[in-house]
Structure 1
């Protein structure tokens, strides 16, 4: 790295750190002290929380960012304010404690789960009729309570029909501890495999969806790779893998897929080319493209994704309150509903009900309007779905218009 590049990287690190610190300002510590209250009108989300973090002696924190010696389980219930008092896609953090459950997210109860057998009992009691389980793996720079409250928000807002389980690994929640966090994901692979195998071995469980965000996608895919190498394939019950803003080296991801093999779960990626967190990750990781920042309509990614049968949902044009554009999957009402209503159910996101994204809140961006109706659809929808079927439909439209997908995409991105 040259001396001219280094200052730019440092400025980006400092700026990103200031954004993160600003977003956390005013939050009280100890939000996981249980209140035992669920007033009328609030919703309650029950989570099974698994962690490789070390326990904390601080009340209401429960677990720190250091590494623990074993997998720990907790049954945590979170109350969420009435819909009239909150914005979908947002976590309403209390400004002081005790939290006001009519306005804030609040911890109702925290119960230890003492064994894997007790974890299976929790699954049995919390499985819906669909018999689905959703396992969420958080990303870089997350405290224990950050991960718990964010997942509670996703579960509530997506209205997912699955038993919610979260795996939280040791993150020091510091913008300057990227390397420590990355090694903590490696430290946690065996524990995540243990958790997944416990779910797979529970007879009542029918199917499992894994959803991972940011650096957590490395942990999730590496664990699946490990399971496939050990057993010859990923267990059949693991049917869906959703990678949101994946902080994955694209070359490494290709190798991981080869190791997992062709008989694998269905992969869905949420990407955004304006993801500023991944821009920084790319710079400090050898300047190799990060999977969550690719242009899925451009080569060589278009052909690779089509060959592998991977669905990609491009959120580049979608606007959200996330200043780093790294958490769009959780903050957009349209996206969290898509996750809950279709992806976790194993349904396609390319049929006529979703189409090219018009029903997910298309807005005119004022580009390529003279190219033709098909081109306008591509650049005006904030959520564009790219998978083999949709891309073939695009190709047919471009041929009829006498234009290529690549030319239109380049025009849209350039503006």
Structure 2
């Protein structure tokens, strides 16, 4: 009975298929169509596939690889979506297409790439989740960067996921295998003098990898690298008690932590079932105790997306599928700005959860506001808006031990 249940559960996690070999760059003549282009640097500890249409598979490599990739994005498309090619070669006028692939062999080449794409010295590092192959993560980051309009150099860290329904445990072990590779990638990036600050955006099981790498960095050095300014955890697939220990053990830091949660996240409900019915961080209700108080004490901003309908059947990818949220990432959080200042203005019937608490917003008073989030930058309106959040504490000692 349990095996049948788990099979059904894994079936729910399956995604739509697409042609194999989409990483093969299209011919230059195909770019006559009007498209946008996202250029990124991809770091991976996957094994090379030997196939230029796949590049890297889901097996583990003892050494890292760097690749420069450009993705073209069609002009007419629904924000929050990836238009996968229906056949190969793709049609750049209607579908995502790889425009260029170049292996980066030396650190000096990587440094030169960042200098060219510096965007004010801001770097975005994206860490994907479970059941993702190489091209899944490349196209998803391209979509996020394009839709968010962020001004940052996009860097993807893609770890060895087999992208198979029954490979949950393999993927989880791959995140453990990848901790040092991600930590070293962040340290190398931070050592670049052209890098002013780093934002990490991690999704699902990739949040576990991110927290483990940061914890390891904190234990190794006594603190996080000061250039890590912002850590955004979207739908984190982490045991809530384990997260509390990770957060404390990474030591003192100045990074701003933002967590996107949703109590209707079906994928996290499945993960909880597989892992022994333990509460996942990404599905908590930040109004409940002890989460309410602990998040506030820790200075963690929690954004509740439960009532947001982003067209995601599993409610697991709202952070990328919602145009409002992805712009929030690009225009505010990416720059290290909090959601707790008077420049945040809220539309009718739209509010944010700020660390589980909120002050009076116009005529709305609540201890927790759980509604879709829509941040609208409007300097004229914001001048008359009250402060919508509370200043959260900086003390890190035992501040998130949930009992």
Q: TM-score range by the shorter chain?
A: 0.7 to 0.9
Match of residue 325, structure 1, among 302, 315, 318:
315
C-alpha contact 2:162 2:171 (8 A) present in aligned 1: yes
The equivalent residue for 1:135 is 125
- Return the alpha-carbon distance in structure 2 between the equivalents of residues 92 and 361 of structure 1: 29
- Rounded to whole Å, the distance in 1 between the matches of 2:348 and 2:134 is 35
5 Å matches for 1:28-107?
28-37=19-28, 38-82=31-75, 85-107=76-98
Mind listing any 5+ residue stretches in structure 2 that lack a counterpart? 352-361, 376-386, 392-403
Displacement of 1:224 in angstroms is 0.7
CA distance in 2, matches of 1:344, 1:16: 34
Q: Distance in 2 between matches of 1:173 and 1:119?
A: 28
Please tell me whether the aligned partners of residues 136 and 166 of structure 1 are also in contact (alpha carbons under 8 angstroms): yes
C-alpha separation in 1, matches of 2:19 and 2:87: 6
For residues 44 and 312 of structure 2, the distance between their equivalents in structure 1, rounded to whole angstroms, comes to 26
Select which of 347, 350, 363 maps to 1:358.
347
Q: Do the aligned partners of residues 323 and 115 (structure 1) sit closer, same or farther apart at CA in structure 2, a change above 3 Å counting? A: same
Task: Let me know the Cα RMSD of the aligned residues.
Answer: 2.3
- Alpha-carbon shift at residue 281 of structure 1 (Å): 0.9
TM-score, normalisation: structure 2 = 0.86
TM-score by length of 1: 0.84
Structure 1: gaps (5+ residues): 363-371, 394-415
In structure 2, C-alpha distance between the alignment counterparts of 1:33 and 1:71, rounded to whole Å:
21
Question: Contact 1:334–1:360 (CA<8 Å) still a contact in 2?
Answer: no
Q: 1:383 matched to which residue of 2?
A: 373
Superposed, 1:1-400 pairs within 5 Å as 6=2, 10-11=4-5, 13-21=6-14, 23-25=15-17, 27-37=18-28, 38-82=31-75, 85-128=76-119, 130-355=120-345, 357-358=346-347, 374=364, 381-383=371-373, 390=388
1:24 is paired with a residue whose SS is coil
Instruction: Answer yes or no: is the 8 Å Cα contact 1:334–1:361 preserved in 2.
Output: no
Distance between the aligned counterparts of 2:142 and 2:92, measured in 1?
14
Aligned to 2:356: none
The answer (yes or no) to whether the contact 1:229–1:259 under 8 Å persists in 2 is: yes
SS in structure 1 at match of 2:174: helix
Separation (CA, whole Å) in 2 of partners of 1:392 and 1:193: 32
C-alpha change, 1:207 and 1:78, in structure 2 (3 Å) is same
1:36 Cα offset (Å): 4.3
Q: How much has 1:347 moved relative to structure 2?
A: 1.2
- Distance in 1, matches of 2:220 and 2:254, equals 14
Cα displacement (A) at 1:258: 1.0
Displacement after TM superposition at 1:378 (Å): 6.3
Distance of 1:177 and 1:75 partners within structure 2: 28
**Is the alpha carbon distance of 1:180 and 1:380 closer, same or farther for their aligned partners in structure 2, counting shifts above 3 Å?**
closer
Contact 2:47 2:56 in 1 (8 A): yes
Determine the C-alpha separation between the residues in 2 that align with 1:337 and 1:374. 24
Decide whether aligned partners of structure 1 residues 151 and 359 sit closer, same or farther in structure 2, where only a CA change above 3 A counts.
Answer: farther
> Is the CA contact (8 Å cut-off) linking 2:45 and 2:64 kept in structure 1?
yes
The size of the alignment, in residue pairs, is: 369
Q: Once the 2 structures are TM-superposed, how far is the Cα of residue 322 of structure 1 from its aligned partner?
A: 1.4
- Given the superposition, is the C-alpha separation of residues 166 and 373 from structure 1 closer, same or farther in structure 2, using an over 3 Å criterion? same
Mapped partners of 2:301, 2:12: distance in 1: 31
Q: Which has the higher helix share?
A: 1
